[in-house]
């Protein structure tokens, strides 16, 4: 079995989707073994506790800078014997110390179709505000490997979602979560845990 560590900062609906998928036997050879939060009041921690999953709080403000926080995170993940690290609404920047310790073993869900509306400053509702300001008719979600480049790692899965007239950032966020994120994130975890993702020439190739 592969140990899955999930990094969270907020409500944790993507974590919940992973927990529910595991209960249905849909995470393949993977098991969520710990949830690490950058915030002590993240509701995601309650979701983990309600399901008997170990929780760890690593508060960003307890560390002087990104480097010392990243070092602590890398050490924690190693101590937890993580085989896969999933960023599920994790809103804190980590540096190369973590990527180097877990090369192509960390995946992130982003609420847009990368390379649109991604990179520094594009997180949470800001992503949907930008999509609506541009007037795109399709947005969606992307699951990708985490590398040093923010939102720039190899893309594993994407799913498009319609933007509707009258959408607000909140209604678009909800539709993208329901129709895309909560589906492709657990599926990408299953693919990883069943060794169905390969890196070839810097791109992720999925064999289903
Ligand atoms: C999700 O929409 C996730 O894609 C996004 O934050 C939300 C977290 O919700 N992540 C990012 O914007 C990261 N760049 P959740 O805590 O309910 O899963």
Give residue 126 CA to ligand 1 midpoint distance, Å: 11
156-176 pLDDT, tens per residue?
Answer: 999 999 999 999 999 999 999
126-166 pLDDT, tens per residue?
Answer: 999 999 999 999 999 999 999 999 999 999 999 999 999 99
Which atom of ligand 1 lies nearest, measured to the CA of 91? Answer: 13
Q: Is domain 109-208 in CATH 3.40.50.170, yes or no?
A: yes
Per-residue confidence (pLDDT) for residue 192, from 0 to 100 = 98
Per-residue confidence (pLDDT) for residue 149, from 0 to 100 = 93
Residue nearest to atom 7 of ligand 1 (CA): 89
61: which residues sit within 8 A by CB, 6+ positions away? Answer: none
- The β-bridge relationship of strands 203-206 and 138-145 is unpaired
Task: Please state the rounded mean pLDDT for residues 203-208.
Answer: 94
Does the CA dihedral 37-43-49-51 come out positive or negative? negative
Above 90 in pLDDT, residue 201?
A: yes
Per-residue confidence (pLDDT) for residue 208, from 0 to 100 = 76
Using an 8 Å Cβ cutoff, are 94 and 63 in contact?
no
Domain made up of 1-102: CATH architecture: 3-Layer(aba) Sandwich (3.40)
Give residue 54 CA to ligand 1 midpoint distance, Å: 21
Percent of the chain with pLDDT over 70: 100
Residue extent(s) of CATH 3.40.50.170 domains in the chain: 1-102, 109-208
Cα angle: 172, vertex 17, 125; to 5 degrees: 30
Give residue 15 CA to ligand 1 midpoint distance, Å: 10
């Amino acid at each position: 079995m592969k140990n899955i560590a999930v990094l969270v900062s907020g409500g944790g609906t993507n974590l919940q989707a992973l927990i529910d998928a595991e209960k249905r036997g849909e995470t393949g050879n993977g098991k969520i073994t710990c949830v690490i939060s950058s915030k002590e009041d993240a509701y995601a921690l309650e979701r983990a506790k309600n399901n008997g999953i170990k929780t760890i709080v690593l508060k960003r403000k307890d560390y002087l800078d990104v480097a010392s926080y990243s070092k602590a995170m890398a050490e924690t993940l190693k101590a937890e014997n993580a085989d896969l690290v999933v960023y599920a609404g994790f809103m804190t920047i980590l540096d190369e110390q973590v990527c180097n310790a877990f090369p192509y073993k960390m995946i992130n869900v982003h609420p847009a179709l990368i390379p649109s509306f991604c990179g520094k400053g594009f997180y949470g509702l800001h992503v949907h505000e930008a999509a609506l300001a541009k007037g795109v008719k399709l947005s969606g979600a992307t699951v990708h490997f985490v590398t040093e480049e923010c939102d720039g790692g190899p893309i594993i899965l994407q799913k498009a979602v319609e933007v509707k007239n009258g959408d607000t950032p909140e209604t678009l966020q909800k539709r993208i979560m329901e129709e895309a994120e909560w589906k492709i994130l657990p599926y990408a975890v299953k693919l990883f845990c069943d060794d169905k993702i390969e890196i070839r020439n810097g791109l992720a190739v999925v064999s289903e």
